[in-house]
Structure 1
């Protein structure tokens, strides 16, 4: 297929998918819309089988996955993690619940590879899905590679409504606390990350930043090779990103603001749709049961472990479960749901701000805990078992 035509069609599909997600306030995710369009296009031969490859975006995506993982590391602040250590721990434990339940009840799946693929998608976001997919494709397991895509597409539809109801209950509780004088007003903790980092000026532009981040990915690869591959490159890249942000070498959200970031993210996400081109309708039908089992078992595990750990930490049940469910959507859903809960329950500006201050820091850190950190660690380890 003509590369320019392939690239242009993909941009149109993604623009429409983002439009639908925005109109539905992310209840219908852009991933789900794009998955349906690509699947329908490939199965009706409206899209040539080589369209994704012809666009060159797939090649770009596989190259810069490590760059995006380093970027994720720079979104995390050690300072905020220390303040919200209980929240962070509940998030980690809830992901442990997903892993435990899916392995315990894994016999319900016809193939253990589906279990690992389900864990990667239920517990995390795009990066975890990509890691699982790459391992499945390398093993020639195309239906296993598609399962995380379907899970990722439906995650928001399940996670958003449940979290919305629970956070409104938590907001009601906080409003009662506020009116009784037991909840402080809005704190001034929401800080904009204005630091520029300590990189020389030559490395602060688009090309310089990409060079610096690329160097970090190469270091992560070297360290991983020194361990004989026992420590995954992406785990090291994530940790280096966290350390470099915390020491001020990299600014927060290191890739944000550079000219190439939007295209880089699109290229990484496009990897997800690759297996759809070769998936048969019978393979797709066979994924219905694993899809339903993945959500039923994985979400149940998250909820059970979140409630237990939240009880130990002194959190309410609605807040604890909401923290666990952040694995289904992450940021910015964690921020949006917090704001909506405060607006729907608070009867004046002071109440709304106090409620938001009681919910949002927990939800944002929970998203980092589940999606950004724990899921990437867990998936990086488990994908070695696919095959």
Structure 2
């Protein structure tokens, strides 16, 4: 497809999606609207399969995601980060909740665990294991499940997590949007009662008011060079540890640390000319899997998909909601933290910002609401999708085919 035409079509879709979000005060998320447009376009053949790759935005998004995560790290103060241990615990509870809910459903539907089986024939518990990994995690978890399923000749089980990964945003976005909006309304009341203040991004409380970088490194190009070096260091640590320390987790920690040390200003990419395009490009990564959704696969696995999503979401609501309440979060915030398992970053960032902007009636309210929600959602996404899910999936994937 012509690269310029593809680029214009993608930008037009995002423009319409963003407009709908603003007109509805974020009651309809731009991510959900764009997902529906892309999925409809790909399934009907209106959009060619190479639309996103031809636009060049996928390649840019792959490069930019690490930069944006460092940027997000610089938006979280060290004090905020230390306070997020509760969020991490809720994230762990979420993965456990998905696992328990799907396991119970599998035992009920499948009539228990059967000892006898036929080679190359999937059992209910194979789909349960695949569903746990895909619902609670991202690409790495899906790859772990695929490898295990293909290793025992279960092709349909290998396809199952791919479909979940491609479609789970369509479930997660519309569920998280009203829940985050409700939390934003609660926080608005707290702000107006004087019990919540906007996050101080000046770092005056830490004695640091600006970046320690020389002026020539604070230009657009200079900033991208420095942040790029941080991303490269994160990639290097990932490789040295064999993936135990994920690139994006390391990048987030680097961002937090470099802000605390005064090397980076809060929101290090704010104000540079490239930031807007980089943000759009990483959003395109969300929609890329939709180009590969095959209607026949969805139809053949419709029942397992519906059961996995329904039961998985129930597990999230119960475990994340209760864990959140026990740890001092509101019930909506606890559930929202749990739902990050269905979309992860950058959805965690976009939905938080849209909730704040949709409810806040002035810049101060928006800043206060976003400052209270965003750190929790960012940390939650990493605790579920990037860390806990990979560990759990790695432990249970070997049960496929047994």
TM-score w.r.t. length of structure 2: 0.72
Contact 2:94 2:320 in 1 (8 A): no
In structure 1, the partner of 2:200 is 191
Distance in 1 (CA, whole Å) between partners of 2:77 and 2:66 is 20
Contact 1:232 1:381 in 2 (8 A): no
Q: 1:96/1:296 Cα in 2 relative to 1: closer, same or farther (>3 Å)?
A: farther
Q: Does 1:56 align with 2:56?
A: yes
SS in 2 for 1:11: helix
In structure 2, the partner of 1:226 is 240
SS in 2 for 1:199: coil
Distance in 2 (CA, whole Å) between partners of 1:40 and 1:342 is 32
Q: 1:383/1:198 Cα in 2 relative to 1: closer, same or farther (>3 Å)?
A: farther
In structure 1, the partner of 2:267 is 253
In structure 2, the partner of 1:322 is 333
Q: 1:271/1:142 Cα in 2 relative to 1: closer, same or farther (>3 Å)?
A: farther
Q: Does 1:71 align with 2:71?
A: yes
Contact 2:7 2:55 in 1 (8 A): yes
How far off is 1:243 after superposition?
1.0
Contact 1:96 1:302 in 2 (8 A): no
Q: 1:136/1:25 Cα in 2 relative to 1: closer, same or farther (>3 Å)?
A: farther
Q: Does 1:99 align with 2:95?
A: yes
Runs of 5+ unmatched residues, structure 1: 121-128, 179-183, 344-352
How far off is 1:137 after superposition?
9.5
**Per-residue CA shift, 1:83-134, capped at 9, x if unaligned?**
xx3xx343222211220022224444726333222113xxxxxxxx566678
In structure 2, the partner of 1:125 is none
Q: Does 1:212 align with 2:222?
A: no
In structure 1, the partner of 2:206 is none
How far off is 1:297 after superposition?
3.9
Distance in 2 (CA, whole Å) between partners of 1:171 and 1:259 is 32
How far off is 1:267 after superposition?
1.4
Contact 1:197 1:251 in 2 (8 A): yes
Of 352, 361, 377, the match for 1:367? 377
Aligned residues: CA RMSD: 3.9
Distance in 2 (CA, whole Å) between partners of 1:166 and 1:375 is 22
Aligned pair count?
A: 354
Q: What pairs up with 1:133-282 in 2 under 5 angstroms?
A: 144-162=161-179, 185-186=194-195, 190-193=199-202, 195-282=209-296
**Per-residue CA shift, 1:117-166, capped at 9, x if unaligned?**
2113xxxxxxxx56667888999966634423432233242234345557
How far off is 1:288 after superposition?
4.8
Contact 2:42 2:291 in 1 (8 A): yes
Distance in 2 (CA, whole Å) between partners of 1:302 and 1:268 is 26
How far off is 1:209 after superposition?
1.0
Contact 1:216 1:237 in 2 (8 A): yes
Q: What pairs up with 1:19-98 in 2 under 5 angstroms?
A: 19-82=19-82, 85=83, 88-98=84-94
How far off is 1:244 after superposition?
0.9
Which of 67-76 and 370-379 deviates more?
Answer: 370-379
SS in 1 for 2:299: helix
Distance in 1 (CA, whole Å) between partners of 2:40 and 2:357 is 36
Q: 1:186/1:95 Cα in 2 relative to 1: closer, same or farther (>3 Å)?
A: closer
Contact 2:28 2:177 in 1 (8 A): no
Runs of 5+ unmatched residues, structure 2: 107-123, 204-208, 340-346
Which of 192-201 and 326-335 deviates more?
Answer: 326-335
Of 125, 132, 135, the match for 1:118? 135
How far off is 1:28 after superposition?
2.1
Distance in 2 (CA, whole Å) between partners of 1:207 and 1:163 is 36
How far off is 1:185 after superposition?
3.5
